[in-house]
Structure 1
Amino acid sequence: MNVRTLYHTVRGLQDLAATERESAASPSIRRRLWLWRRGFLSRSDAVYDIDEATHREYLNDYQRFVRTKRINGTWSVALSNKLLFHRVMQPFDAHRMGVYGMIRNGSFHAVDGDDSRRQLTDGGAVVPTEDGGEDETDPQTAAERRDSSDAERREPAETRNAAQRVVERLESDGRLVLKWVRGGGGNNVLLCERADDGYRVNGDRYAEAEFRSLVSDLEEYLVCEYVEQGSFADGLYAGTPNTIRIITMYDAENDEPFVAAAIQRIGTSESAPLDNFTQGGLSAAIDLETGELGPGVQPPGDGDLEWHSVHPETKTPVEGVQVPGWDHIRERILEMADACSFVPYVGWDVIVTGDDGEFSVIEANSYPGLKSIQVHGPLLTDDRVRRFYERHGVC
């Protein structure tokens, strides 16, 4: 075992132990030992239908936390670093969320020219023309660009003040997302909103001074646009963004990617401001051919899984609802996976923004969580999925 493999194994086991400590489930000692010997946490016993006949059909927790981390190797950074992922996604700009800049050491560092999508100047940024580029027919363009660059280098330090730039952006956009440049699972994501009485961050009220202090203390956070979900996603539950998780795998034998599984995540008052399944949100399986949703399921508290054909709070339909433009979404994600074939295992998080399959990729994960996926059935019953994991030494 080389040093890198040992490192990932130790980190994976640490994650495994931490997750087990947080588990609310309390099966008997005998049952816990049975699960551990087969690679499962106690929490999985409440979500999966595990017995002696079925446990080998599930990708277990040891395989997920320890072995799937190795699939993408050194290229996992292309997904785990959100700024790098934003760059990797540049050929698919129509499906990228806007990234305005990064907060570091209290300063704002512009990304993509501090958002070339907007028609404003800010700290010397070039104002794009209607087609998104500069007017190259103007003989003074190059000179003005040099002057602009010189002006930016000479600008006083306060114009790079992160809190000021975020406040200004909120005045313009109304809502923003601040997310840590590393990490996933919905952790370290701040949904920020301008309100009449100050600001809201993940639903909590902040006075302006408090908000500025919060932003100033952030380190290596991206300042991103808030992607407005379309009527389909908003109709599922308006209180949270409701994302689709799509897992793609690259089939080296056939030299093509494929979709292994897809779910629609739906928020609840328990999971708000996000739609995370582990925090009480719903997971509804998506039929990979038709795009039709199955019933939504919630993780158990102290009892059994709860299955819902309609949203438990709003009573809006879930089961049987069609993802608009599913064929387009699926094929476009496969194009992205093909372009990133050097990263063979990806969990894509997507928000449907329109009624014809328009969507934005919010982020991607290098070793996605599987409870919200396998709650609908074990992954390893699909031969193509099993072969992928076997090829990469996971099972």
Structure 2
Amino acid sequence: MKGWWHRFIRTPGELHALGVVGINMRNARFVLPNNPRRLYGLVDDKTQTKRIAAEREISIPETYGIVSNPAELRRVERLLGDRESFVIKPSRGSGGKGIMVIAEKDGEHYLKPSGARVTIEEIKHHLQNILAGLFSLGGLRDKALIEYRVKAARIMTDISFQGAPDIRVVMLHGYPLMAMLRAATRESDGRSNLHQGALGIGVDIATGRTIHAIHHGKSVELHPDLKVPLLGIQIPDWDHILDIAVTCHEMTGLGYLGVDLMVDEEKGPLMIEVNARPGLAIQMANGVGLLKRLVPVQRRAKEHPHDERRQKISFSRNTFASKSGIQPTSLP
């Protein structure tokens, strides 16, 4: 029997019964009451997020430089130096917009993961677009970060087409609710954006193993390009990933948030960014409505207001473990 994610048209009553959270419910019941507007700047501006993460000693990609105004474009060559790989991203971008990934250098040209050649002038033009606010929230003028390009762990790149997959953990009050791996396809051009054709792969909160995958809203078990299995993959350092995610809640003060991470082959899990309005496709990736996890966490947080990080993680792992023979951990 096909699950709810196979039908695109559902009545409001059916969606409610399935625990599916829509944008209006997310905003009214979970974002607005739990995320004070004054805290948004800490996560909407990646330079601010990286600053407070460094204060908490959370592992993050090294920043090579920041371009804040057009006059600084003259020093881009000096800023890049002999670096052969790096990532350029808007400080206030969202949804992966405006991110340029450089994988290597070939003479005077830079190469994207797809093999496409990029000149230094094209890089400067892209930086100009970032500064002009082409990719920023609200179209406001922005600044560009040039940072370390994550060398994703092999087990991760094996299920992603020409792009490093990332992991999103969504939380309420510091309790991990759901996790999803976003893997690139040929269609998504190496980007981990589900709307552009990337894969959404649900991850068991208890173990860090992949349990369900979707492509354009339909369940799949193999990567459409690589033809490799997507389920049963163990994400490395899962304990550390959950610890970083909960620490991001503590450092931002946001009650409802999503934390994006990547696993580097040598450096381990790295926090990439924090989102105060995480998207809802994670429900389809897991085949579970978020409300079925939000309500138990609301109840737990009310009954146990002094739960510490270890207790929050333990509660989530016990309560939201995949029903596939997973043995729950002990709850202190």
TM range, smaller chain: 0.7 to 0.9
2:181 aligned residue = 264
Q: Find the aligned partners of 1:333 and 1:344 in 2 and give their Cα distance.
A: 12
CA contact (8 A) 1:379 1:386 kept: no
Matched, 1:284 2:201: yes
Q: Find the aligned partners of 2:268 and 2:82 in 1 and give their Cα distance.
A: 24
2:167 aligned residue = 244
- SS of the equivalent of 2:93 reads coil
Query: Relative to structure 1, is the Cα distance of residues 231 and 346 closer, same or farther in structure 2, using a 3 angstrom cutoff?
Result: same
Query: Relative to structure 1, is the Cα distance of residues 269 and 388 closer, same or farther in structure 2, using a 3 angstrom cutoff?
Result: farther
Instruction: Within 5 Å, give how 1:162-181 maps onto structure 2.
Output: 162-165=73-76, 167-181=77-91
Query: Relative to structure 1, is the Cα distance of residues 218 and 281 closer, same or farther in structure 2, using a 3 angstrom cutoff?
Result: closer
Query: Relative to structure 1, is the Cα distance of residues 213 and 317 closer, same or farther in structure 2, using a 3 angstrom cutoff?
Result: same
Shift of residue 183 of structure 1?
Answer: 2.9
Shift of residue 80 of structure 1?
Answer: 0.7
Matched, 1:205 2:131: no
The runs of 5 or more residues in structure 1 that have no matched partner are 1-43, 108-160, 251-256, 300-304, 391-395
Matched, 1:89 2:12: no
For 2:290, give the aligned amino acid.
L
Query: Relative to structure 1, is the Cα distance of residues 199 and 47 closer, same or farther in structure 2, using a 3 angstrom cutoff?
Result: farther
1:101 aligned residue = 65
For 1:88, give the aligned amino acid.
I
2:25 aligned residue = 63
CA contact (8 A) 1:247 1:348 kept: yes
1:78 aligned residue = 42
Which of 133, 149, 154 pairs up with 1:231?
154
- SS of the equivalent of 2:40 reads helix
For 1:273, give the aligned amino acid.
G
Provide the alpha-carbon RMSD of the alignment.
2.9
- Tell me: higher relative CO, structure 1 or 2? Use CA pairs within 8 A at least 6 residues apart: 2
Greater Rg over alpha carbons, structure? 1
Shift of residue 196 of structure 1?
Answer: 3.7
The runs of 5 or more residues in structure 2 that have no matched partner are 132-142, 303-332
| TM-score of the superposed pair, with normalisation by structure 2 | 0.74
Query: Relative to structure 1, is the Cα distance of residues 209 and 353 closer, same or farther in structure 2, using a 3 angstrom cutoff?
Result: closer
CA contact (8 A) 1:282 1:297 kept: yes
CA contact (8 A) 1:277 1:372 kept: no
Aligned residue pairs, count: 280
1:82-135, Cα deviation, whole Å (9 max, x unpaired) = 11111110134451111233212224xxxxxxxxxxxxxxxxxxxxxxxxxxxx
Matched, 1:320 2:232: yes
For 1:306, give the aligned amino acid.
K
Instruction: Within 5 Å, give how 1:1-395 maps onto structure 2.
Output: 50-56=10-16, 57-64=19-26, 69-70=31-32, 71-73=34-36, 74-93=38-57, 95-107=59-71, 161-165=72-76, 167-193=77-103, 194-196=105-107, 198-200=109-111, 203=114, 204-216=116-128, 218-219=130-131, 220-250=143-173, 257-299=174-216, 305-340=217-252, 342-354=253-265, 358-375=268-285, 376-382=287-293, 383-385=295-297
2:330 aligned residue = none
CA contact (8 A) 1:379 1:385 kept: no
For 2:99, give the aligned amino acid.
V
Q: Find the aligned partners of 2:157 and 2:121 in 1 and give their Cα distance.
A: 32
Query: Relative to structure 1, is the Cα distance of residues 169 and 310 closer, same or farther in structure 2, using a 3 angstrom cutoff?
Result: farther
Q: Find the aligned partners of 2:7 and 2:242 in 1 and give their Cα distance.
A: 27
CA contact (8 A) 2:110 2:119 kept: yes
For 1:102, give the aligned amino acid.
I
| TM-score of the superposed pair, with normalisation by structure 1 | 0.63
Identity over aligned pairs, percent: 21
Shift of residue 162 of structure 1?
Answer: 2.8
Shift of residue 65 of structure 1?
Answer: 5.6
Q: Find the aligned partners of 2:92 and 2:152 in 1 and give their Cα distance.
A: 24
Q: Find the aligned partners of 1:323 and 1:206 in 2 and give their Cα distance.
A: 33
